[in-house]
Amino acid sequence: MVDHDAELKAHIQRRKEFIAANIGLVDVAIRKYFSWSEEPYEDMLQEGIKGLARGFDKHDPSRGGLTTCAVWYIRGSISGYLRKRIAKPTITNWDMARVDTESERPPAFGQYDGVQELIAKLLWTLPDPMGQVLSMRFLRGMTLQKAGDELGVTKERVRQIQIAALKRLRQDEQLMQQIAVYLEN
């Protein structure tokens, strides 16, 4: 007869040992994939550990290595956390004395009621550099130079990524219909 309590205790012990031995995977994932985020490191670490535990629980040995599976769950867990956090971003009023030239500063449409949620949804449809740039420019009000400094690229490259991201959003007909419906209301 199988002792389910003993199996459960053994599974929990193996999971604790796996998490302790592989917490570095969470750290590497945060530094590699989420260094752009301004969320506290500790919060992302906590979410990553939850993903690590879930990856251990969901692992199917016939589909590949345990650590590979865990990394996917780590990234998914942190991404989900960040999606929830960015859904209601806080936007501060800019100090008008420090406003750069018009070509440098994006329009502040993120300040209007309800637009923040729409923008956040749009950004999650884009690949990382595009979503990051639009978030920096339109949600956080960064200049081209400041966004470039944070990403480690030139302001010209930020401008190019911004143009490509906006073009990509404009080409999505379903997305444009959602925006039109929102703007009509």
More confident residue, 136 or 88: 136
Which range, 80-89, 97-106, 111-120, 128-137, has the best average confidence (pLDDT)?
A: 128-137
Stretch 78-87: mean pLDDT, rounded? 79
Whether this model's pTM surpasses 0.75: no
Same fold, 4-86 and 96-184: no
What pLDDT, on the 0 to 100 scale, is given for residue 109? 46
Structure tokens at 170: 């404009």
Comparing C-alpha atoms, which of 95, 89, 93, 57 is closest to residue 73?
Answer: 57
Q: Which amino acid would we find at residue 66?
A: L
Q: State pLDDT tens for residues 21-59.
A: 888 889 888 888 888 888 888 888 999 999 998 988 888
Q: Which top CATH class is 4-86?
A: mainly alpha
Q: 112 pLDDT exceeds 60?
A: no
CATH number belonging to domain 96-184: 1.10.10.10
Q: What would the pLDDT profile of 119-165 be if each residue is shown by its tens digit?
A: 666 777 777 788 888 888 877 788 899 888 888 889 999 999 988 88
- The answer to whether residues 175 and 122 touch, using CB atoms and an 8 Å cutoff, is yes
153 CB burial (10 A radius; 0-12, 13-18, 19+): middle
What are the residue ranges spanned by the domains of the chain? 4-86, 96-184
